[in-house]
A and B are shown apart, each in its own frame.
Chain A
Amino acid sequence: MKRLISIFILLFLVGNSFAKTADFLGVKEVVAAKGGTTVLGKYPDYINLAEELGAKRFNIPTNVWNKMTPAQQWGANQKFLDRMIMRGDKVILSNPVLDINKVSGAFRQELDYLIGKGYRLNSTGTQLIK
């Protein structure tokens, strides 16, 4: 299984070059990509909103996700965010952020990463803007 996860991660990272393809090993980051919009937030709100908007979102097949370490999970997430930055997507937040200090976990990690890359929250806390 470890080998399978390593192969998955390797393919995921290589997936940069397949950014225009639809469904990469089940990772629906480029599916229904309309107008370069990505949704971030808490599970499952961000997936629900992304589906509604036809936007991109980060998710990994459950059987693979459950066998990844926290470092592997964040590594894959970071790659997704890097590609999103490169595309210049509009970033919508499924869970509005009025006070970032009240946000924790993976969502906070995603926000901190993007803020470190020059993004900031808009006045309503519903988007990250440059």
Chain B
Amino acid sequence: MNKDNTINNIIYLPEKFYKQRDVSIYSLLKESGYFELHNQIIEANIFDGLIKHPECIDQWLNWSADKRSSSGWYFKQNDNGKYVVGYFPLKENLETTEYLDEVEACAAFIKREIEDIRNS
């Protein structure tokens, strides 16, 4: 699988997860080709993918809100309209970052989230 296809598969992961119903996010991420290319896919690549498919950003916001896991990354919009990417529970080495740009925030979240899933 080439890099562009993999990036496209990644940004549509939440949609696929809820449509298919019978496959875990771990399996979908594996099928996306990311496990083989994880060192080559950086936030900037995901950012470029999201610019072409901005409809995926809301899906990732919902994905984050729907998590019921004991720990992990989150992505949400603050009351002041800024986008926040952080880790629950708070950890010294994992920063919480505020973004003005939702695409930048979403790309940062996706990269962190898929790394977490790959390593789970």
Instruction: List residues of A whose CB falls within 8 A of some B CB.
Output: 26, 28, 42-44, 47-48, 58-63, 65-71, 73, 77, 104-107
Contact = CB atoms under 8 A, between A and B. Distances in A.
| 3 cross-chain pairs, A with B, having the tightest CB-CB distances, nearest first | A44-B88, A42-B65, A106-B66
Interface stretch (B1-9, B23-31, B98-106): B23-31
Contact of A62 (B23, B71, B76): B71
Contacts of A26: 70
A42 B67 CA distance: 8
Given A43-B74, A63-B120, A104-B62, A69 B68 contact: no
Contacts of B22: 69-71
A115 B74 CA distance: 27
A32 to B, nearest CB: 14
Interface of B: 17-18, 21-27, 62, 64-72, 74, 76, 88, 116-117, 120
A66 B69 contact: yes
Contacts of B24: 66-69
A105 B65 contact: yes
A73 to B, nearest CB: 7
Contacts of B71: 62
Given A66-B25, A67-B120, A70-B21, A106 B69 contact: no
Nearest to A80: B68
Pick from B18, B21, B65 the residue with the most CB of A within 10 Å: B65
A66 B21 contact: no
Nearest to B86: A44
Contacts of A65: 67-70
Contacts of B67: 43-44, 65
A73 B24 CA distance: 10
Given A42-B66, A43-B67, A62-B69, 14 more contacts: A26-B70, A42-B76, A43-B64, A43-B65, A43-B68, A43-B69, A61-B69, A62-B72, A66-B117, A67-B24, A69-B24, A70-B17, A73-B68, A106-B65
